[in-house]
Amino acid sequence: MSKKFLADTIQKSIEITGVGATALAGDIIEAIKAEIVQTGRFTIPEFGAFSVRETPKRTAMNPRTGEKVAVKAGATVRFKPSPALRDAAHAALKKSKRKAAKAG
C-alpha cells in the first residue's frame, strides 16, 4: 500500500479534493508514526498491530566477500495481523488456487 493508494481511497470514500486527500493520508501516516514512537505499539482492530522490537547486536556475513561484519543493536517495527485479516488472506489464497486449477 502506498500513500497514493490511501489518498485515492479517501478521495473515493468522501467528497474531497485530491490535494486534501493526499494531505489527510500524510496526516494519518504521521499520526501512526507518532503513536508508535510514543507508546511502542499501534493497533487497528480487525487489521493488526504494529509493535517496536529491539534487535540485538550480532555478527553477520557480507555475502559478496564472505567477511564477517559487526551489526549494531537497534529496533525494528513488526506487524502481527489480526485473526480476521489472517482468515481473509487464507480464504483469498484458497480462492486464487482454485481459480488457477480451473484455468490450467
Q: What is the pLDDT of residues 62-73, one digit of tens each?
A: 999 999 999 999
pLDDT at 15: 87
What confidence tens digit (pLDDT) does each residue in 17-35 have? 999 999 999 999 999 999 9
Domain boundaries, the chain: 1-38, 40-104
Report, at the CATH architecture level, how domain 40-104 is classified: Irregular (4.10)
Cell digits for 33?
508514526
Q: Is the dihedral of CA 12, 29, 3, 50 positive or negative?
A: negative
Query: pTM of the predicted model, to two decimals?
Result: 0.71
